[in-house]
């Protein structure tokens, strides 16, 4: 990508430049493909021409809507730009900051990590050889990779498998180097371990473990326990059982709902995702997330954090991309997890409603921000159905490498190509959608979390009246659009008639 393509705001007026030995100059700031230029546009004042390649580091600060960028140059010079307008300042800053990330093809043959895709994003300064070494130190070869880059704060979410420290506290310099490369000098990051401290400690006996403070002094580790495997599966079985029995009296229903623990899991997952989003957006700190394998709770957290932080992931295409990236490519074992659902009596092995819990969490956020998503509840239900049984190849297999071996791309159809047909999309589009560029913070209080009736009560009670009400809502919105269009046409028509009249009057 050319640098010029990164320039979002090429020109800002009323920028004040402070530099050593010169009085402050007010002028216009321009960004070109190679230079940052500040000119007062007066004949006798010197202009500033700064090569982008001379920029070593930048800092930004805000006082009200006035932003300040401090540019530290490779020749040790430090200059300061006061830029009116928060957005302009952020745009300028993001344009002149240089990329610290690169694509790596180290896993091209799926040799380094069988559950990773062939292409991953890693810090610019880390070479493939280092990645190979780090892979041996992380569970399943899942070395830390970029999951999400937050434009606003320039912080990142990374994910990985657990470090294989074992009982004797093995360390890996390359691993430390890799994740430290994502931090800027002096800043700290957070490691979110999706297991309780206890579970993480126990994992050491099996060769796993967690990052020791001594070896990762720039990182603060937080344990946010999220349940896994059979516990989740049992929770699902209990919940479905409770929902299916219409004879329960109120006490029994409430106690069954409670005993299923489903909403507790929802709350745990959402809380962890909010914590990550908070680190990124409020704390301006980067985050590394892992549990044991890094293929389940890790993905729930990274993907939900993106729903909270990133407006694009709340659009239909953006959400599809999120699932493709954070679930399919990231190696969530759909085949194993979704082999059986709530009714199967045979002994469960790998089944767990990890993806359904994720969808439920998205639904909870959707309920709280009903206008911020381009898709509606039906879209989530459709994805749930296809994850468990589908005529498309999208959710088959447990990883990219399996899907490659199965030649799914040649032999099956993609769910996305079917769903993205305009005729199909209309059913999944949220009529209330209005792009919301803000971070959306959901409430995770138990009073705010609801049972997802569209999934769990779907076959137990008629939703006729609710569906009709939804249709009526759509009608009102459609009618509104129609009326707006008609008013505009009539206005134009009237304006034309008026001009005609005027023309006739003033020959």
Does residue 338 bind another protein (CB under 8 A)? no
Pick the stretch among 87-95, 266-274, 325-333, 412-420 that binds another protein (CB under 8 A): 266-274
Q: Which is nearer to another protein, 45 or 153 (CB)?
A: 153
Q: Is 349:325 a contact under the CB 8 Å cutoff?
A: no
Closest CB to another protein among 2 and 434?
434
Q: How far is the CB of 504 from another protein (least distance, A)?
A: 7
Under rule CB under 8 A, residue 495 binds another protein: yes
244/420 with CB nearer another protein: 244
Note whether 35 binds another protein by CB under 8 A: no
- Which of 165, 278, 286, 306 binds another protein (CB under 8 A)? It is 278
CB of 27 to another protein, least distance (A): 29
| Candidates 66-74, 111-119, 295-303, 361-369; binding stretch for another protein (CB under 8 A) | 361-369
Cα–Cα distances in Å, from 493 out to 156, 464, 486, 504?
A: 53, 43, 10, 17
Which one of 31-39, 127-135, 170-178, 275-283 is the stretch in contact with another protein (CB under 8 A)? 275-283
Out of 160, 261, 329, 401, which residue is the one contacting another protein (CB under 8 A)? 261
Residue 484 binds another protein, judged by CB under 8 A: yes
Q: How far is the CB of 455 from another protein (least distance, A)?
A: 13
Q: Is residue 370 part of the contact set for another protein (CB under 8 A)?
A: yes
Does 53 bind another protein (CB under 8 A)? Our answer is no
Which residues in 372-431 contact another protein (CB under 8 A)?
372
The residues near 131 (Cβ < 8 Å, ≥ 6 apart) are 104, 106, 112, 122, 143, 178
Q: Which residues contact 507 (CB under 8 A, 6 or more apart)?
A: none
491 is an interface residue for another protein by CB under 8 A: yes
Residues 6+ apart with CB under 8 A from 287: 155, 156, 157, 158, 189, 190, 191, 192, 276, 279, 280, 305
Q: How many residues does the chain have?
A: 507
Site for another protein in 300-319 (CB under 8 A): none
Residue 300, CA distances (Å) to 194, 270, 297, 305, 490 in order: 10, 9, 5, 8, 51
- Min separation Cβ 432 and another protein, Å: 6
Total Cβ atoms within 10 A of residue 24 = 10
Task: Provide, rounded to whole angstroms, the least separation between the CB of residue 272 and another protein.
Answer: 9
Three-state SS for 320-351 is HHHHHHHHHHCCCCHHHHCCCCCCCCCCCCCC
Contact map string, positions 219 to 258, toward another protein, x by CB under 8 A: -xxxxx------------------x--x-xxxxxxxx-xx
Quote the least distance from Cβ 468 to another protein, whole Å. Answer: 6
Smallest CA-to-CA distance from 149 within 326, 310, 318 is with 310
Q: SS3 letters for 174-211? A: HHHHHHHCCCCCCCCEEEEECCCHHHHHHHHHCCCCCC
d(CA 380, CA 101): 32
Any idea what the Cα angle at residue 206 is, between residues 201 and 207, rounded to 5°?
A: 85
Separation CA 143–CA 129 (nearest Å):
12
Q: Alpha-carbon distance 397 to 333, whole Å?
A: 7
Which of 369, 388, 416, 418 lies at the binding interface for another protein (CB under 8 A)? 369
Per-residue x/- mask for another protein, residues 181 to 210, rule CB under 8 A? ----------------x-------------
Q: Which residue's CB is nearer to another protein, number 46 or number 478?
A: 478
| For another protein, the closer CB: 53 or 499 | 499
User: Is 503 among the residues that bind another protein (CB under 8 A)?
Assistant: no
Q: Tell me whether residue 246 or residue 423 sits nearer to another protein (CB atom).
A: 246
Give the interface size with another protein as a residue count (CB under 8 A): 82
DSSP assignment of 132-160 equals HHHHHHBGGG---EEEEEETTTTEEEEE-
- Measured from the CB of residue 242, what is the shortest distance to another protein in angstroms? 8
**Range 423-462, binding another protein (CB under 8 A):** 432, 434, 436, 438-451, 457, 460-462
Query: Which residue of 263, 301, 307, 415 would you call a contact of another protein, by CB under 8 A?
Result: 263
Report d(CA 471, CA 428) in Å as an integer: 13
Decide if residue 506 touches another protein (CB under 8 A).
Answer: no
Closest CA to 309 of 287, 335, 341: 287
Is residue 476 a contact residue for another protein (CB under 8 A)?
Answer: yes
The full DSSP string for 237-299 is: HHHHHHHH-TT--HHHHHHHHHHH-HHHHHHHHHHHHHHHHHHHHTS---EEEE-SSSSSHHH
Nearer to another protein, 274 or 362 (CB): 274
Q: Does 490 bind another protein (CB under 8 A)?
A: yes
Residue 371 to residue 373: CA distance in whole angstroms: 6
> Which listed residue (131, 275, 301, 356) binds another protein by CB under 8 A?
275
């Amino acid at each position: 990508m050319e640098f010029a393509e990164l320039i979002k705001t090429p020109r800002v007026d009323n920028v004040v430049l402070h530099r050593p030995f010169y009085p402050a100059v007010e002028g216009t700031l321009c960004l070109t493909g190679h230079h940052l230029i500040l000119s007062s546009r007066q004949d006798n004042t010197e202009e500033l021409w700064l090569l982008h390649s001379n920029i070593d580091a930048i800092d930004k600060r805000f006082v009200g809507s006035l932003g300040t960028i401090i540019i530290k140059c490779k020749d040790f010079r430090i200059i300061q730009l006061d830029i009116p307008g928060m957005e302009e300042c952020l745009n300028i800053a993001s344009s002149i900051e240089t990329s610290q990330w690169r694509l790596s093809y180290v896993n091209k043959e799926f040799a380094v990590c069988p559950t990773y895709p062939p292409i991953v994003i890693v810090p610019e300064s880390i070479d493939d050889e280092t990645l190979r070494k780090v892979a041996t130190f992380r569970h399943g070869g899942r070395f830390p990779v970029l999951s999400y880059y937050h434009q606003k704060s320039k912080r990142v979410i990374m994910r990985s498998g657990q470090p294989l420290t074992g009982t004797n506290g093995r360390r890996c310099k390359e691993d430390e180097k890799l994740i430290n490369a994502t931090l800027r000098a002096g800043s700290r990051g957070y490691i979110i371990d999706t297991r309780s401290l206890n579970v993480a400690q126990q994992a050491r006996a099996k060769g796993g473990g967690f990052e020791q403070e001594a070896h990762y002094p720039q990182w603060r580790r937080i344990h946010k326990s999220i349940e896994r495997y059979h516990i989740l599966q049992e929770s699902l079985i209990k919940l479905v059982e409770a929902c299916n029995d219409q004879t329960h009296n109120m006490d029994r229903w409430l106690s069954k709902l409670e005993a299923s623990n489903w909403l507790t899991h929802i709350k745990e997952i959402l809380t962890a995702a909010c914590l990550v989003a908070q680190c990124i957006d409020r704390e301006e700190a980067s985050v590394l997330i892992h549990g044991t394998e890094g293929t389940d709770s890790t993905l729930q957290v990274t993907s939900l954090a993106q729903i909270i932080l990133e407006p694009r992931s709340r659009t239909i295409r953006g959400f599809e991309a999120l699932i493709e990236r954070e679930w399919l490519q990231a190696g969530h074992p759909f085949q194993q997890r979704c082999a059986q659902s709530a009714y199967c009596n045979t002994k469960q092995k790998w089944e767990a409603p990890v993806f359904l819990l994720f969808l439920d969490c998205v639904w909870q956020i959707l309920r709280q921000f009903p206008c911020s998503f381009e898709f509606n509840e039906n879209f989530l239900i459709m994805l749930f159905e296809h994850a468990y049984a589908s005529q498309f190849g999208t959710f088959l297999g447990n990883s990219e490498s399996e899907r490659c071996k199965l030649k799914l791309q040649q032999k099956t159809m993609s769910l996305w190509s079917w769903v993205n047909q305009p005729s199909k999309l209309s059913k999944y589009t949220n009529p209330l959608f209005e792009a919301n560029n803000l971070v959306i913070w959901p409430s995770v209080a138990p009073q705010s979390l609801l049972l997802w009736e569209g999934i769990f009560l779907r076959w137990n009670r008629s939703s006729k009246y609710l569906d009709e009400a939804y249709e009526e809502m759509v009608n009102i919105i459609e009618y509104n659009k129609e009326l707006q269009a008609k008013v505009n046409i009539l206005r134009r028509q009237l304006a034309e008639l008026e001009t005609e009249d005027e023309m006739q009057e003033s020959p």
